[in-house]
Amino acid sequence: MERSLNVVHCEADRFVITVRCHQIEVDQPVEDGGSDLAATPTELFVASLAGCVAYYARRYLARHALPEEGLAVRAAYTIVPHPARVGEISLEIELPTGVPADRHAALLAVASHCTVHNSLESPPAVKIELAANT
32 and 44 part of one domain: no
pLDDT digits (tens, 9 = 90+) for 117-134: 999 999 999 999 999 986
94 and 64 part of one domain: yes
- Please check whether residue 110 lies inside any domain of the structure: yes
pLDDT at position 133 is 84
Q: How many domains does the chain have?
A: 2
45 and 56 part of one domain: yes
49 and 115 part of one domain: yes
pTM for this prediction = 0.94
pLDDT digits (tens, 9 = 90+) for 35-69: 999 999 999 999 999 999 999 999 999 999 999 99
66 and 117 part of one domain: yes
- Please check whether residue 66 lies inside any domain of the structure: yes
pLDDT digits (tens, 9 = 90+) for 110-119: 999 999 999 9
Q: Per-residue pLDDT averaged across 28-34, rounded?
A: 96
Mapping DSSP onto H, E and C, the string for the chain reads CCCCCEEEEEECCEEEEEECCEEEEECCCHHHCCCCCCCCHHHHHHHHHHHHHHHHHHHHHHHCCCCCCCCEEEEEEEEECCCCEEEEEEEEEECCCCCCHHHHHHHHHHHCCCHHHHHHHCCCCCCCCCCCCC
Domain that holds residue 34: 1-38
47 and 94 part of one domain: yes
Average model confidence (pLDDT) across the chain: 97
